[in-house]
Amino acid sequence: MATAVASPLVTAPRPLPRRPRVLFTGAAFGAAASALLVLTTLAVYLQLRADALASGATHLADDFLLPLTPGGMGMVTLSMSLVSVSWAVWALRRDDRPHAYLALGLTLLLGVAFVNSTVYLYQQLSLPLTGSATGGLLYIVTGSHLVMVVVGLVFIMVMGFQSLGGQLTGRDAEGMSAAALYWYVTVAVYTAIYYGIYITK
């Protein structure tokens, strides 16, 4: 049997082609669609509020004051999660798995804390859904954004499990980048909600 010493240039398998950025592109489209849906409801809220205030009426309910603290806490929580999700992507790209898991866990924790604070806000508001148009819209805007947050958390969780399984490491951390992109957009949308609903009231 003839044997030959193979040159590494001949025997080395071709490197795998760079993974196409399918998930990242799809996430960008999905994030744009979700953001526009929520921002549309916010735009309607702002328009009806402006109409109500222009007519001299109160727009939510008589003697009702929308508290600033829960919205502010939500903003701070989500802002911190921006750092942690970026940290997760950074660590995964460098195959630094312990830090990646820590950052992912922190992001999930902050996301759940945001959901918790929003639910708490709903309980404290004592604002009837059908009491006024803007009252109903307040729930629609924040509720649809809450759904966006939950979708983002599930996305991060799934990508986290994939990275636990070793699928998303090093150069192939595209899935986590996609989840992070969705999360950035989610936080950006909340910034608009925070300013439009809580700050300007």
Partner 1 sequence: MTVTEDAPAAAPASSELTAPAPAAPGLALILGSGDHKVVGRLWILAAFVHLALAGAAAIWVAVLRVDAQQLASDTPDFFAQAFTFRSIAGAFLFLLPLTVGVATVVIPLQVGAATIAFPRAAAAAAWTYLLGGGLVVSAYAIDGGALGDDTDGVRLFTLAFLLVLVALVVAWICIGTTVIALRPPGMSLRRVPLFAWSSLVAATVWVLNLSVLSGVVLIAYIDLRYGGPSGFIGGGAASLYTRISWMFGQPAVYAFAIPVLGFIASVVPVFSGTRHVQHRLAMVLIGAYGALAVGAWAMPAFGSDATPWLYEAPWVAASFAIVVPFLGLLGLWALTARQGTPKLASPLLYAAVSGVMLLVGLLAGALQAIEPITTLVDGDGASLYGTTVTTSVASYVVLAAVIAGLGGLVYWAPKVIGRSVTETGARLVALLLLAGTVLWSFPDLISGLLGQPAVPGTVTTDNVDAIKALNTVSVIGGIVLALAAVAFLALFVAALRSRDEPGDDPWSGHTLEWATSSPPPVGNFPCLPVIESEAPLYDARHQLEEATA
Which residues contribute to the site for partner 1 (CB under 8 A)?
A: 1-6, 10-11, 13-17, 20-22, 24-26, 29-30, 32-41, 44, 47-48, 50-51, 129-130, 132-133, 136-137, 140, 144
CB of 59 to partner 1, least distance (A): 12
CB of 21 to partner 1, least distance (A): 5
**14 or 98, CB closer to partner 1?**
14
CB of 113 to partner 1, least distance (A): 26
Burial class (CB in 10 A: 0-12, 13-18, 19+), 102: middle
**76 or 154, CB closer to partner 1?**
154
CB of 32 to partner 1, least distance (A): 6
Q: Do residues 159 and 179 lie in contact, with contact meaning Cβ atoms separated by under 8 Å?
A: yes
CA distances 131 to 29, 51, 58, 81, 118, Å, are 36, 16, 12, 34, 20
CB of 6 to partner 1, least distance (A): 5
Residue in this structure with the two tokens 């070793």, named with its chain if needed = 166
Six token digits for residue 154: 């599930």
Question: 50-58 — which CB contacts under 8 Å span 24+ positions?
Answer: 52/132, 52/133, 52/134
Six token digits for residue 120: 């708490």
Q: Do residues 189 and 35 lie in contact, with contact meaning Cβ atoms separated by under 8 Å?
A: yes
**101 or 122, CB closer to partner 1?**
122
**100 or 178, CB closer to partner 1?**
178
One-letter amino acid at 143 equals G
**115 or 133, CB closer to partner 1?**
133
